[in-house]
């Protein structure tokens, strides 16, 4: 299985975009030489060695994040004007896949930070002064950021419910109280972008806002609750806000409940495709493990198991499923990066990639388990971790039912142009 071939000249991944051969004439400006996916692959060798212990303990891989910071990855998607690398969507995906091949948890957790800058570059939703602080914080001070939205009672915020976390006006500022679940990166986060309800007068529609909470704010507490089946090292703990006092400028944005948030499609593209890349990375690791196993495993029968037709068919199917997933992700990435209006329905292509990649990759890892056989269940082997980790992104946006509804809406409810008769 080849490496993911994403990236543009601006990222220094010459000619790898969507698998095309190098084409130097496409580029009219000096090309930085950083090959981010290759650097990620080199760095991630150490992550693979640490993954089993962190998974078993459910501990956070601080060493991996120190390595990523040291190698300049914290600024990968940060705009150049703030000292970042301003990597394209494609390069971001290729980097995530490389990290996920070694450790799915590190990739998923790091994605939460990286996607923030990609989304904001395309669809600004935060006040410029805060965005600059987040960018400079990432590049110069190693500060990580994530959105903190989910709650036990709320479920997925994408469902449009009203959070219980509340920001009450207090003087010129706010007082924030509540508890959030699934706060990925909690052990290291500096910038917490917190979704909260904002009280409105009786009879007025409910409103929600995003508030900036800093790790150093008195009243912020992390409850180490994360103990899950998969992605055990993401540190996705509960965060509690105990009547935190916030100055007025901490309100980043505000909207009526049910109104789309300002990140719009960019939010979905960077998030959902990042999940695809992470999932493909995990499935590829399982595939490589199964192939190596099938080539070497020779039970007492004197035949290497790769000679059995069932094993051969399963390996071929795994490659087909992973290749199809990468092709769909690549297609959605190209559609998203194309000039506006030139690719039909790019957000639908993102939805298709998310749904199909996840299902394909889950099936691919299941097949890899069957190739390896009974020992695939042993905790000592990484493949059982891949089997658990590959499922996690099912429960992150864009959720399958909503993605399918989006596709159905495009086909059934939007303005319709009848197909032209074939000539």
Ligand X SMILES: Cc1cc2nc3c(=O)[nH]c(=O)nc-3n(C[C@H](O)[C@H](O)[C@H](O)COP(=O)(O)OP(=O)(O)OC[C@H]3O[C@@H](n4cnc5c(N)ncnc54)[C@H](O)[C@@H]3O)c2cc1C
Smallest distance, ligand X to C-beta of residue 161, A = 8
Residue 293 pairs in a beta bridge with: none
Under the binding rule (CB under 6 A), the answer on residue 399 touching ligand X is: yes
Under the binding rule (CB under 6 A), the answer on residue 270 touching ligand X is: no
Smallest distance, ligand X to C-beta of residue 259, A = 16
Distance of CA 368 to the CA centre of its chain: 23
Footprint (CB under 6 A) of ligand X, residues 85-124 = 108, 112
The Cα 329–Cα 277 span in angstroms is 8
Smallest distance, ligand X to C-beta of residue 146, A = 5
Q: What is the DSSP string of 88-109?
A: -HHHHHHHHHHHHHH-HHHHHH
The Cα 239–Cα 177 span in angstroms is 11
Under the binding rule (CB under 6 A), the answer on residue 284 touching ligand X is: no
Interface region with ligand X, contact rule CB under 6 A, candidates 134-142, 208-216, 240-248, 391-399: 391-399
Under the binding rule (CB under 6 A), the answer on residue 156 touching ligand X is: yes
Which listed residue (68, 87, 93, 148) binds ligand X by CB under 6 A? 148
Which residue's CB is nearer to ligand X, number 50 or number 115? 115
Under the binding rule (CB under 6 A), the answer on residue 391 touching ligand X is: no
Smallest distance, ligand X to C-beta of residue 158, A = 7
Under the binding rule (CB under 6 A), the answer on residue 395 touching ligand X is: yes
Which residue's CB is nearer to ligand X, number 208 or number 335? 208
Under the binding rule (CB under 6 A), the answer on residue 279 touching ligand X is: no
Which listed residue (106, 233, 396, 406) binds ligand X by CB under 6 A? 396
- For 17, the 3-state DSSP assignment is helix
Contacts with 38 (C-beta within 8 Å, 6 or more apart), sequence order = none
Smallest distance, ligand X to C-beta of residue 212, A = 15
Which residue's CB is nearer to ligand X, number 334 or number 402? 402
- For 213, the 3-state DSSP assignment is strand
Closest-by-Cβ residue to ligand X is 155
The Cα 42–Cα 61 span in angstroms is 17
Under the binding rule (CB under 6 A), the answer on residue 147 touching ligand X is: yes
Interface region with ligand X, contact rule CB under 6 A, candidates 24-32, 230-238, 367-375, 408-416: 230-238
Which residue's CB is nearer to ligand X, number 39 or number 395? 395
Q: What angle is formed at CA 415 by the lines to CA 412 and CA 418, rounded to 5 degrees?
A: 80
Q: What is the DSSP string of 354-417?
A: HHHHHHHHHHHHHHHHHHHGGGGG-TTSHHHHHHHHTTGGGGSSSPHHHHHHHHHHHHHTS---
Which residue's CB is nearer to ligand X, number 352 or number 403? 403
Footprint (CB under 6 A) of ligand X, residues 161-200 = 182-184
Query: How many residues bind to ligand X according to rule CB under 6 A?
Result: 23
Under the binding rule (CB under 6 A), the answer on residue 406 touching ligand X is: no
Q: Alpha helix locations (H) across 144-242? A: none
Under the binding rule (CB under 6 A), the answer on residue 401 touching ligand X is: yes
Q: With 0-12 CB in 10 A as exposed, 13-18 as middle and 19+ as buried, what is 105?
A: buried
Smallest distance, ligand X to C-beta of residue 370, A = 25
**Helices and strands (H, E) in the chain, number of each type:** 10, 8
Under the binding rule (CB under 6 A), the answer on residue 240 touching ligand X is: no
Which listed residue (19, 22, 153, 155) binds ligand X by CB under 6 A? 155
- For 341, the 3-state DSSP assignment is coil
Which residue's CB is nearer to ligand X, number 8 or number 406? 406
**346-372 vs 382-389: helix axis angle to the nearest 10?**
150
Buried b (16+ CB within 10 A) or exposed e, 274-308: bbbbbbbbbbbbbbebbbebbeebeeeeeeebbee
Site residues (vs ligand X, CB under 6 A) = 108, 112, 146-150, 155-156, 159, 182-184, 231, 234, 236, 392, 395-397, 399, 401-402
């Amino acid at each position: 299985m080849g490496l993911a071939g994403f990236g543009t000249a601006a990222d220094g991944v010459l000619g790898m975009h969507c698998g095309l051969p190098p084409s130097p004439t496409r580029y009219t400006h000096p090309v930085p030489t950083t090959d981010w996916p290759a650097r990620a692959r080199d760095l991630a060798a150490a992550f693979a060695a640490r993954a089993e212990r962190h998974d078993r303990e459910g501990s956070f891989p601080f060493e991996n994040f120190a390595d990523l910071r040291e190698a300049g990855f914290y600024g990968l998607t940060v705009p150049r004007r703030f000292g970042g690398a301003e990597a394209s969507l494609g390069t971001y995906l290729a980097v995530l896949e490389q990290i996920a091949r070694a450790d799915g948890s590190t990739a998923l957790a790091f994605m939460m930070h990286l996607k923030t800058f990609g989304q904001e570059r395309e669809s600004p939703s935060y006040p410029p002064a805060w965005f600059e602080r987040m960018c400079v914080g990432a590049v110069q001070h190693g500060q990580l950021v994530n959105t903190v939205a989910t709650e036990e009672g709320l479920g997925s915020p994408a469902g449009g419910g009203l959070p219980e976390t509340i920001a009450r006006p207090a003087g010129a500022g706010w007082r924030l109280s509540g508890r959030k679940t699934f706060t990925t990166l909690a052990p290291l986060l500096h910038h917490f972008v917190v979704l909260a309800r904002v009280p409105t007068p009786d009879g007025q529609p409910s409103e929600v806002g995003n508030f900036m909470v800093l790790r150093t704010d008195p009243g912020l507490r992390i409850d180490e609750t994360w103990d899950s089946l998969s992605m055990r090292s993401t540190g996705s703990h509960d965060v509690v806000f105990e009547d935190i006092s916030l100055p007025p400028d901490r309100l980043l944005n505000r909207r009526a409940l049910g109104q789309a948030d300002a990140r719009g499609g960019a939010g979905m593209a960077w998030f959902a495709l990042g999940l695809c890349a992470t999932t493909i990375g995990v499935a590829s690791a399982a595939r490589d493990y199964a192939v190596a196993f099938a080539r070497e495993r020779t039970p007492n029968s004197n035949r290497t198991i790769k000679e059995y037709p069932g094993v051969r068919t399963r390996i071929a199917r795994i490659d087909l499923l992973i290749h199809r997933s990468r092709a769909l992700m690549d297609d959605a990435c190209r559609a998203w990066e194309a000039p506006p209006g030139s690719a039909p329905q790019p957000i639908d292509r993102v939805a298709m990639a998310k749904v199909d990649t996840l299902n394909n990759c889950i099936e691919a890892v299941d097949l890899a388990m069957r190739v390896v056989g009974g020992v695939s269940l042993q905790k000592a082997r990484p493949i059982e971790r891949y089997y658990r980790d590959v499922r996690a992104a099912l429960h992150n946006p864009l959720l399958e039912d909503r993605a399918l509804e989006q596709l159905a809406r495009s086909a059934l409810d939007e303005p319709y142009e009848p197909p032209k008769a074939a000539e």
